[in-house]
Amino acid sequence: MKRIFRSKVFYLLILLVTLGIVLVFNNDKGPTEKLSEDEFFTTLEDGKVTFLKVEPQNSVYEIKGQLVGYEKDQYFITSVPNSEISLDRMNNAVREHDIEKIEFTTEDTATSGWVTLFTTSIPFVIIFLLFLVVLLFTVVIKRLNRPR
């Protein structure tokens, strides 16, 4: 009975650790509202945007921002094409309505947390498997050499 309890506790502990790791790497930073490109430019040109963060992603700009009336942890997210027309429309609206806080970031080349986790843990897994194989071979060789 103790073995069953210990194994259940062991598997429950593994489940909780795995769940904790997944929650750490998949945390959301607040509620988001997705805006279409037209909705974004309409609200931007109407002066309803208070904050913008623009990140280039391949052939589009990923834009996060806050509208007037949003709480501190609320923001919207949208994508606009990486084109001169889009940049001109954004620049004109920003100049016209004097948006104070704008962040332009470079393309993110950082690796994700999952890739870092796997690449740092794989060498330890390989070493553990090699140790296990050597241990199993020694047990098998001892059993084979044992007199009958």
Model pLDDT, residue 28: 58
pLDDT in tens, the chain (148 residues): 566 556 777 777 788 888 888 777 776 555 678 888 888 888 888 888 888 888 888 788 888 888 887 777 788 888 888 888 888 888 888 888 777 677 777 765 677 888 888 889 999 999 999 999 999 999 888 888 887 6
Residues in the chain: 148
> Angle 74-48-35 (CA atoms, 0-180°, nearest 5)?
60
Closest CA to 90 of 63, 119, 120: 63
